[in-house]
Amino acid sequence: MNSALAAKDPATDQIIALVVEDSRPAREMLTTYLQQSGFHVLTAIDGEEAREKISQYKPNIIILDVVLPGQSGFELCRELKAATETMNIPVILCSKKKTTIDRFWGLRQGADAYLFKPIEREELIFTVKSCLKVKSIS
């Protein structure tokens, strides 16, 4: 595994996923999907809290809403991908915006994947595992 990626949670031996979502129902749904698939899940409601959690816990993957209070998910993704400490953490952007240009813009910001809401459990888990596999091979 790439040394820039965090290790598993030492207490649980689980991969750490950070869900950054300001909508409580969406955050809880994503958290449930990930926990049911064996991930240790941390949550944040905005970019500031996300940066604190990333610094403290070094998640293996980040699921990031595009529309957040304060800093947008696009901006946070761009910031994470520009920083040496976080550039190798896979980022999956999520949005209700279902246009090709939105997906294209998200990927241009450095996102590893872009999912349209509402997100089905199988699609989320497949995408998370695919992003983790690609990063571990890199």
Tens digits of per-residue pLDDT, 7-48?
677 666 789 999 999 999 999 999 999 999 999 999 999 999
Looking at the chain, the whole-number percentage of residues with pLDDT higher than 70 is 89
DSSP, res 3: T
Residue 110 has pLDDT above 60, yes or no: yes
Tens digits of per-residue pLDDT, 70-104?
999 999 999 999 999 999 999 999 999 888 898 99
CB 12 within 8 A of CB 40: yes
Fold of 16-137: Rossmann fold (3.40.50)
Instruction: Report pLDDT for 71.
Output: 95
Residue 134 has pLDDT above 60, yes or no: yes
* Nearest of 92, 77, 81, 96 to residue 124 by alpha carbon: 92
CA gap 31, 85 in Å, rounded: 25
Q: Which residues lie closer than 8 Å to 123 by C-beta, 6 or more apart? A: 115
Helices marked H in the chain — which ranges? 24-36, 47-57, 73-82, 100-108, 121-137
